[in-house]
Structure 1
């Protein structure tokens, strides 16, 4: 699966579980570790886990190899490594604390409007 298709799969799965403030940074020009970082917020620990589970399920359905899943039990910051796409599912306070968008501010934002339902 191409990285853009993988990105679409992740965004749609997250949006289906009502992830908030889904942001994607295109990091392929500034980091060798991935093409995209997808950052999103869940309103509760349970929602963070549900979003992460939905993404993991979609990855399994599409035979996408999952490098690792970190933090799922604590549900404050779940990191899902899908190779070219690295997913960060945060609780709001944890997202503000780590502020990955600022840390990776050189990376351009990707427009996700076509994949997110209003």
Structure 2
């Protein structure tokens, strides 16, 4: 079904899922130029190992509901950097320290940024 969805739509589904579990510091990159088998990376930060796990689980659930199968998952047991490969989209869910240390934004800085449309949150009353 990923053929029916654009990379931006895939990013938006995954980002909305991550946002619903407290994901932060979203960056989506179009990596289709240097990586012909992948269209986009989504980078997300979780506050701690438990949060990283919850974010990655919710992304998998929402992508599955959208008919998108996960091809590969790595790092779930450690909860420091979870990689979710959905074919056209690869999601990296980082613990804050790993996000800074590995600096994927620096490595892929020449790639175009994909705008992310997150759902609006209502203000507390």
State the TM-score bracket (shorter-chain normalisation).
Answer: over 0.9
- Which residue is 1:104 aligned to? 108
Secondary structure of 1:9's partner?
helix
- Which residue is 1:27 aligned to? 31
Once the two structures are TM-superposed, the CA of residue 29 in structure 1 deviates from its matched residue by 1.8
Alignment of 1:33-48 (within 5 A): 33-48=37-52
Aligned residues: 117
Q: Tell me if structure 2 keeps the 8 A contact 1:39–1:89.
A: yes
Secondary structure of 1:115's partner?
coil
Q: Which has the larger radius of gyration?
A: 2
Once the two structures are TM-superposed, the CA of residue 63 in structure 1 deviates from its matched residue by 2.0
Paired with 1:116 and 1:95, the residues of 2 have a C-alpha distance of 24
Tell me if 1:61 matches 2:58: no
Given the two structures, how large is their TM-score scaled by the length of structure 2?
0.88
Which ranges in structure 1 are unaligned for 5 or more consecutive residues? none
Paired with 1:19 and 1:40, the residues of 2 have a C-alpha distance of 6
Paired with 2:120 and 2:22, the residues of 1 have a C-alpha distance of 9
Given the two structures, how large is their TM-score scaled by the length of structure 1?
0.93
Paired with 1:62 and 1:110, the residues of 2 have a C-alpha distance of 20
Moved more, 96-105 or 57-66: 57-66
Moved more, 69-78 or 21-30: 21-30
- Which residue is 1:51 aligned to? 55
Which ranges in structure 2 are unaligned for 5 or more consecutive residues? none
